[in-house]
Amino acid sequence: MDQLTLRTPDDWHLHFRDGDMLPETVPATARCFQRAIVMPNLIPPVTSTQMVNEYREQILTARPEGSTFEPLMTLYLTNNTTAEDIREAKQNGVVAAKLYPAGATTNSDAAVSALDELYPVFEVMADEGMLLLIHGEVTSADIDIFDREKAFIDTHLKRIVDSIANLKVVFEHITTKDAVEFVASAPERVAATITPQHLLLNRNDLLVGGIRPHNYCLPVLKRNTHQQALREMVATGNSKFFLGTDSAPHAKHRKESDCGCAGCYSAWSALELYAQVFEELNALDKLEGFASEHGADFYGLPRNEGSVTLVREPWQVPDEITLPNGEPIVPFFAGQTVNWQLK
């Protein structure tokens, strides 16, 4: 097969950032995705409906001329989030609220430090039909970073799912066999997103031959047995698992500093890299469901009407991209060859 046409896909988890980043990140996503779930971990975080509306307008302003790309907005949960915050957000088109454990990832210091206190908010979300998106890691210093996803499942996620009837939960950017097994066996109202980096790489790609800062993301890359579990699951076509790039841009100097930030900027190559993975798995027939159908169905949104076409034409991901402010950024898979590209 040298050409592959898919229903226009959506990205169910990404980071646009704001300010000078938007003229770069929005077109990169709009080139092939019709919709995207936009993460709210800005500085300051997007914690109110007013902030959501202002951020949405910034994104729409950055769309390429003629683009019909639609940002799907989320609310950043804190221990001060109220039931009224949820109701107001829902009335203004917010589709989901994001749970970050405080300190789990980029710009999460203001997030949830006392998770049990949010159960009344979760109840309101279930009543309003607002999805809960979870960065599923504990942040206790005594828990090894490679074990934090499993610890979150055991300590918090099972209880949330069991306690709040009718709450739809997306376990985002899963990285472990434990998460695969949990989502597969959970009620139908639980799903998960999977990134290109966690399908393509494991912790050897972060640590062997020197630290590779541009492969550093959170949740961190795991051992290859976990990578294989993710790959085996997407190859089945299970509808509880769908595309979420977690594309997360940082300027080059911030990634390569003595305390480099977490995130892989994959927007310019993500769909093509997913195609490469599915081809390696002899599962190209499952890519359309993963990229274009399962997420829309889970969110209760219509599937897109258009299509995109990928062709088998090898190309090399650039070593750097220059941001509108002149700063360089290193994209995910920089300098490496990708076998598929958007026609």
Whether residue 113 is predicted with pLDDT greater than 90 in this model: the reply is no
Whole-angstrom distance, CA of residue 150 vs CA of residue 179: 7
Residue-wise pLDDT tens digits, 55-106: 999 999 999 999 999 999 999 999 999 999 999 999 999 999 999 988 767 6
What is the pLDDT at residue 341?
97
Dihedral class, residue 2 (left if φ above 0, else alpha if ψ from -120 to 50, else beta): alpha
What is the Cα–Cα distance from 166 to 129, expressed in whole angstroms? Answer: 8
Could you tell me the domains of the chain?
Answer: 3-342 (3.20.20.140)
Write down the pLDDT at residue 101: 87
- Cβ atoms of 74 and 40 within 8 Å: the answer is yes
- Maximum pairwise Cα distance, the chain: 53
Q: What is the pTM of this model?
A: 0.97
In the 8-state DSSP scheme, what is residue 293?
I
Q: Give pLDDT, residue 102.
A: 81
Are 28 and 259 in contact, with CB atoms under 8 Å apart?
A: no
Tokens of 81: 């989030």
Catalytic residue among 20, 246, 258, 319: 246
> Which residue positions form the known binding site?
13, 15-17, 41, 98, 135, 173, 218, 246, 250, 262
Task: Decide if 246 is catalytic.
Answer: yes
Buried b (16+ CB within 10 A) or exposed e, 192-201: bbbbbbbbbb
Nearest to residue 318, comparing CAs of 168, 207, 246, 214?
214
pLDDT of residue 324: 83
pLDDT in tens, 260-279: 999 999 999 999 999 999 99
Q: What is the DSSP string of 128-181?
A: HT-EEEE------TTS-GGGHHHHHIIIIIHHHHHHSTT--EEE-S--SHHHHH
> What pLDDT, on the 0 to 100 scale, is given for residue 107?
58
Average pLDDT, integer, range 132-152: 95
> Helices (DSSP H) in 171-249: which residue ranges?
177-185, 196-200, 204-207, 224-236
Backbone angles phi, psi at 260, to 5 degrees: -65, 145
341 CA to centre of own chain:
21
Written as six digits, the tokens of 58 are 């910034």
